[in-house]
Structure 1
């Protein structure tokens, strides 16, 4: 399902359709990217959770034609910080909100806010869409 483009040993990108199964495919891409590294045990659980939340947001909330793809980038810095980016074709930035105890959804970005070392949202080059990014460090991942 994903179209993977390995750029360097420390970076990987892939394109995914806006489909509910894409969150699973994205997690598998991350697992394959981190698997050969010793740091994978620390980064993978938190990284997979945050990636799932960002991909799910792109699938559910993107106001663009359904045939637009989601672009994902993983980068591993020299200090073992994992950067996750999820790009979509909607320019509207996500908003962090409080979910009530009765809400069955709406906590994804709160998880990203609480578990990531840093996170943010930027416009994409060319002016179409945005990307939401987060950093997962070994220290914060171990504490989660």
Structure 2
């Protein structure tokens, strides 16, 4: 039987805090979502001034990163490079800003961010996703 790490409330709080601090440092109004490895929501925060749709998009970015076990930027690049059929893939968003949370080489969750430019969303998501690294 294999075993793996799972996100506890303390880790979720740390991930969310790191992502929020990155967004606030840059004065970016974003929504931040954290999901477990199955894409199930664990936390959601929409900063002041962020459009309501960003909360939905952030959750989908996080879910896509968790289920796909990769950054959503890769999906966006596939579509932009001509693989438009990928747009019909279920439960996925092809937008940069979803980043898996890795522990010991395993995906244990993901962070999704939406509200600013794609690379800025990814910057905030990465700040959260790396919060557990020593």
Q: TM-score, normalised by structure 1?
A: 0.35
* Larger-Rg structure: 1
Greater relative contact order (CA < 8 Å, ≥ 6 in sequence): 2
Q: TM-score, normalised by structure 2?
A: 0.37
